[in-house]
A and B are shown apart, each in its own frame.
Chain A
Amino acid sequence: MIEWLHPGLIFIFGTFLIPLFKGKWKQAYLLILPAAALIDVILMYKGVFGTIPYSTWYYPFLDYELVLGRVDKLSLCFALIFSLAAFCMVLYALHVKSSSEHMSEFFYVGGALGVVFAGDLFTLYIFWEIMAIASMLLIWFHGGRGSEVAHRAGFRYILWHLFGGIVLLAGIIMYVAGTGSTAFNAFSWGWGSEYLPSYLIFFGFILNAAVPPLHAWLPDAYPEATVTGAVFLSAFTTKSAVYVLVRGFTGVDILIGIGAIMTVYPIFYAVLENDIRRVLGYSLINQVGFMLCGIGIGTPLAICGTVSHAFCHIIYKGLLFMSAGSVLQMTGKIKCTSLGGLWKSMPFTTACCMIAAASISAFPGFSGFISKSMIIAEAAHFQLGIVWVLLLLASAGVFHHAGVKVPYFAFFAKDAGIKAKDPPLNMKLAMGIGAFLCIFLGVFPQYLYNILPYDPVALGFIPYTAAHVVSQAQLLMFASLAFYVLIITGVYPPEQKKLNLDTDWPFRIWGAKFMIFCKEPLMDFASWVDRGMKRISAYFASFGRNPLRAIRIALSTMMVKALRTFVLEFWWRVFKYYERDLEEAKKLPADKPIETVPLGTAVLLIIILFLLYLVITLMYGWLAP
């Protein structure tokens, strides 16, 4: 009997066998891995590996201990939705032939599951970085025409994430140095310099949660990913950030404000944006804002709201990205301006998109309703007036852009005359499962409530009261009325084929300037220094080979140079003498050109040495009793 099995490592180690399979076997293997992870998580729920909560899989690392398996209700809830979503998404991506794309997907999911079960900060950091790099690869796999754009977007994406990762690492090191403990639990919070490690860790976390103004990587890079890659990206990075924030920063009141701004800020962009997947990216930020607000409020009911909203959000946002991806795959177009009237030719995709749209707008009877209302109700309960108004405004806004705009412009509006049909069976199946879950969770919320860290019903929350249902229905119906009226009267801004500036604008402009500075003045200076150094080293080398000759050359050169300036009739002979001597000296043997080694080789050697050193240190750490 195994003690415990890490579902993330099923993904990570299972990845290496993917290239060995072909055709049907590969598809079967691709489905078996997430299914195995899902069964693993369900077995944990059943208490097969021990009574919840427990923590297991300790490994010595330097002077500390890595904890790979910290299992409690919170991590189980996120692990369940991550493995469930991974299964649906792998099913959606089953037709993709490239092994390397599947491999990066699996690494990505494995990293996210590793973050969820991480019991100490080092493990957290390792899986955090695995996730960042694997997700960048998903963006880079976008081939064909968009590859150049995707490549650049992927670079910008990884720059943001490496920066966030380094800040996180700095925070972790300071925290460990300060407290002597690597355990990943709630961090202390307050105002003052003694909380600096907490601030740095917090910064690393909220960068991954795409908090404005640190959010620009998300709408920049996600729409450039492959059709299937975007579906994966929508689920894991931001939600694992939500998980770590719940774990580390519950009740940090600054998150309430951050969350409220985060819900409102992106809806304006979503209204203006033309690319459907970019609209969905902005609405993703908006939804994560609700979750951060819940974390900031920090009561058990708010945490329930956050976790259940993350749970429902992964499903419906995945479904929205799946339907947008189907449209992109089948028509080759993704801009609002070039789509329209697809409901006749893609009825199944239309239905799935409508269900996801109803869920994200929290229409009563769909999954968003049973989770989002918990957070708004808690905001009202604590008399957070402005936050409450902002959250309601964002609810109306999300209905407007994700609930109405996306289905309307893609599937209805005026017919763009595109010939298309519904996507292949595997994509339809994945979308069907997502749509089923959206309705199922909306109608039977108790199944979701039972697996949450706390029981919202016991805390006094009932989703389907007359007041909740009528208020939400009024809000949404009259928001749709506004959309309708403004379209009819022509006030609604028409879609433009434009790019909207976002907070990454200064980085992209100054970044380009910085690159030019590096390329021109800095490189000139470097090559000047380089030339000088080469001359000095060449002199020393020739001196070492034949000192007498070197001295003779140096003397002659000096004399020739000195005399050339004022060559008079009298000095002519002396000058000629030295010139001849210089030529003779140069003819002497032992002046082979110096062999130089490129700098890169030297750096590589140094890196290999460091790596060996690290491996030996680690091996010693493991071997030592």
Chain B
Amino acid sequence: MANNLLAFYVIIGVVAYVVLCFMAKKPAPPHRNLLITIYFCCLAGMVIAGLPVHWHIEFPWQEPIPAAFYAIFGFAACVFLIYFAKGLRLWLPKDYDYYEKKRKGRE
């Protein structure tokens, strides 16, 4: 139970961080604020819903925080994904006529 509570605080922390990120920006229109509130309530609801669930623990890394493992994993996975993709952007993108130019340049 203590672990679950710990997880809960972690999630609250993440959410609070995001809200702070928002507040640094200029204020949004009111209906948008409502949508955002509902969205964050959903996020918190997901974690709270995880607390009473009987989890099947399959791997050791799930043990410390079973209730919020998937939440943290999902967040971290997407952040990793985007940073990695940003890294790839350094050398993967070329102009649309890249191959055309390569071909024409030799002819």
Contacts and interface: CB of A to CB of B under 8 A. Distances in A.
A501 interface: yes
Contacts of B12: none
Interface stretch (A14-22, A291-299, A476-484): A476-484
Interface string B1-32: 00000000000001000100110010000000
A545 interface: no
Interface of B is mostly: helix
Contact of A467 (B42, B55, B73, B99): B55
Contacts of A193: none
A492 B102 contact: no
Nearest to A519: B107
Contact of B75 (A392, A470, A479): A479
Interface string B78-100: 11111111101101111110110
A499 B96 contact: yes
B58 A380 contact: yes
A513 B25 CA distance: 53
Contacts of A516: 106-107
Given A474-B68, A475-B74, A477-B71, A512 B95 contact: no
Nearest to B25: A488
Contacts of A269: 92
Interface in A484-518: 484-486, 488-489, 491-493, 496-501, 508-509, 512-513, 516
Contacts of A400: 78, 81-82
Contacts of B103: 512
A271 B92 CA distance: 12
A489 B55 contact: no
Interface string A382-416: 01010010001100110010000000000000000
Interface string A231-272: 000000000000000000000000000000000000111011
A402 to B, nearest CB: 13
A24 interface: no
A472 B82 CA distance: 20
A77 B97 CA distance: 43
A498 B95 contact: yes
Given A268-B88, A477-B42, A498-B93, A470 B49 contact: yes
Nearest to A500: B92
Contact of A474 (B70, B92, B98): B70
Contact of A393 (B68, B77, B91, B107): B77
Contacts of A513: 106
A380 B60 CA distance: 12
B78 to A, nearest CB: 3
Given A392-B77, A396-B73, A479-B75, A496 B82 contact: no
Contact of A493 (B22, B69, B89): B89
A473 interface: yes
Contacts of A383: 58-59
A537 B8 CA distance: 91
B74 to A, nearest CB: 4
A477 B58 contact: no
24 contacts: A380-B58, A380-B59, A388-B59, A396-B77, A397-B77, A470-B70, A471-B50, A473-B49, A474-B46, A475-B70, A476-B74, A477-B74, A478-B43, A478-B71, A479-B78, A481-B18, A482-B75, A485-B21, A491-B86, A493-B85, A501-B93, A508-B99, A509-B99, A512-B102
Interface of B: 14, 18, 21-22, 25, 39, 42-43, 46-47, 49-50, 53-56, 58-59, 68-86, 88-89, 91-96, 98-99, 102-103, 106-107
The 7 closest A-B pairs by CB, nearest first: A482-B78, A498-B93, A478-B74, A475-B74, A271-B85, A396-B77, A474-B70
